[in-house]
Structure 1
Amino acid sequence: MLIRECRFTAIDFESAGAARGRTDVPVQIGLASWSIERGHGGNFVSYLASEVPITWSARKVHGIRDEDLAGAPGLLSLWPDLKKSMADAVVVAHGKGTEKRFLRAFPGHGFGPWVDTLLLARAAWPELGDHSLSALCDARGLSAKVAEMIPGRRWHDALYDAVASLLLLEDVAQSFELLEKPVEWLVNPDTREWYRGRRIF
């Protein structure tokens, strides 16, 4: 399938933070979608119930407090929302390891293929010293657009980061003229193919 024909759904989790003797758990989820045909939309965000307290170090990063989770749904109860957003979509995440790990709560979910915008950015702009999502958006002039699209939120909010990942993906696809290329070019980024494609077409 060509990139211009795909629907992309970005997912981001914020977590309670790692602590000795316990498994990290998600406390917020954000989803957003983008396609050439429909543009950006389909935003969804929710806090998630947690049986473990949020660590000080995690709270310092994302600002989520234990009291913010009062009455929040459990991740498993959000299966209909996740399925609606992610089924038949190319799944996007910036550093996909955390997102894939938390989605193990749904064995056999079948979501994918996955595009990791961290790997994409490292392939596209290896000269940049910082490939964190916020630094990349600053370097590519995307940060103001993220803030405009998601007013009242900030970096390390799950929805904010999901939308930022999609804007970064869109920037890569347009900057390297990849919209008419197979989606595999994003799944397994190889800039030799990107530049070869630009010379030929």
Structure 2
Amino acid sequence: MTPETPIHQARFAGIDFESAGAARGRTDVPVQIGLASWSIHEGHAQAYVSYLRSSSPITWSARKVHGIQDEDLIGAPSLLELWPVIKKRLGSAVVVAHGKGTEKRFLRAFPGHGFGPWVDTLLLARAAWPELPDHSLSALCISRNLEPRIRELAPKGSWHDALFDTIASLALLEDIITSFELADRPLAQLVFPDTREWHQQRSR
């Protein structure tokens, strides 16, 4: 897939991690992963979620955000054990995340994985709606009235559940593509959003 590939021909694979939380003297680690896919022609599909075995206890502040307890991780696979699942779902896809830094950092567990190109819905939303006061994933989806659709696709989740947030980022991407009539535009407009062009599009 190249930057010139039309958006309507692309398969997008969303990913989200929830983590154990940062603590002094130790590296943050993932404790849950969510994966899903979306394309214009096939819609939303391939939803997958799993807890991840962790060598670090979940901090109180992290538990307060996502509600995951150490007991939930008992018997869960490690991130490395899920490599076949991750490779199958992210390979040959445009990878989507809201604020991609965390997801890219945790995927460094697989050196040279080659996943990408990446689309960051946080950057896209800031380009699309710079006037909004809050560009967090939940605030954006509520503002755009996407939450009912997300709950339909992920009925067992809520905000800060890895699968729920993954599907939310894909629903937000779908909304941006539809709202700005980007389906026939090159993929580069999502990978490298040009805010000047987005603003020109908004004024038409």
**TM-score normalised by structure 2 residue count:** 0.95
What is the distance in 2 between the residues matched to 1:120 and 1:158?
20
What is the SS of the residue equivalent to 2:134? coil
Separation (CA, whole Å) in 2 of partners of 1:199 and 1:147: 32
1:21 aligns with 2:29: no
Counterpart for residue 60 of structure 1: 64
Identity in percent: 70
User: Which secondary structure state, in structure 2, belongs to the residue aligned with residue 169 of structure 1?
Assistant: helix
Correspondence for 1:135: 139
Unaligned runs of 5+ in 2: none
Structure-to-structure mapping, 1:164-175, within 5 angstroms: 164-175=168-179
Describe the SS at the equivalent of 1:119: helix
The residue number in structure 2 matching 1:123 is 127
Q: Give 1:198 deviation, angstroms.
A: 8.1
- Give the corresponding residue for 2:112: 108
Return the alpha-carbon distance in structure 1 between the equivalents of residues 87 and 27 of structure 2. Answer: 25
- 1:47 corresponds to 2:51: yes
**1:144 correspondence with 2:125:** no
Q: Which residue of 77, 83, 93 corresponds with 1:79?
A: 83
| Over 3 Å off, 4+ runs | 194-200
In the alignment, structure 1 segments of 5+ residues that lack a partner are none
Question: Which stretch shows the higher mean deviation, 144-153 or 154-163?
Answer: 144-153
Q: CA RMSD in A?
A: 1.4
- Counterpart of 1:118 in structure 2: which amino acid? L
TM score, norm. by length of structure 1: 0.96
Deviation at 1:149, TM superposition (A): 1.1
Establish whether residue 69 from structure 1 lines up as the match of residue 66 from structure 2.
no
CA shift, 1:199, in A, is: 8.7
